[in-house]
Structure 1
Amino acid sequence: MNISEETFLVNLGVHVRQLREKKGLSQQGLADDCNINKSQIARLEVAKVNTGIKTLVKIANALDIEPKELLDFTLK
């Protein structure tokens, strides 16, 4: 399967937002738990940033999930 980077980032952002909302967290709440700026979360959720592995691990820890779960989504 060959997908574009943009498609992957859009789907990742949607998935992060869904996981965050499922935990009842605002963007600011998640950012605080990750010790990163809210703008980083906002840009990730709308596919405006290609975030690093360290940030994904922080997000997974804040959401109390395994990092691989952040990448476990169906491409649309």
Structure 2
Amino acid sequence: MDISEETFIANLGTHIRQLREKKGLSQQALADDCDIKKNQIGRIERAEINTTVKTLVKIANALDIEPKELFNFPLK
């Protein structure tokens, strides 16, 4: 299956937003837990940036999930 990088990053951002909302966290609360800026969370969720693995690990830790769970989403 071929998927573009842009599509994958968009799906990842959507999934992170869904996980954050499921935990009842605002973008600001997640950013605070990750020690990053709120606008970076928004840019990740909107697929405006290709974030680092280091940041993805911080997000997973803040969401209390394993990092691999960030990639457990259907490709659209």
TM bracket (short chain): over 0.9
C-alpha deviation, 1:68, in angstroms:
0.2
Cα shift at 1:72: 0.7
Gap runs ≥5 in structure 1: none
Match of 1:65 in 2: 65
Q: Distance in 2 between matches of 1:65 and 1:7?
A: 23
The alignment's TM-score, normalised by the length of structure 1, stands at 0.99
AA in 1 matched with 2:7: T
Moved beyond 3 Å, runs of 4+: none
Give the whole-Å Cα distance in 2 for the aligned partners of 1:46 and 1:70: 15
TM-score normalised to the size of structure 2? 0.99
Query: CA offset at residue 21 of structure 1?
Result: 0.2
Can you list the C-alpha shifts for 1:8-61, whole angstroms capped at 9, x where unaligned?
011000000000000000000000000000011000000000000000000000
1:20 maps to 2:20: yes
What's the Cα RMSD here?
A: 0.4
Counterpart for residue 33 of structure 2: 33
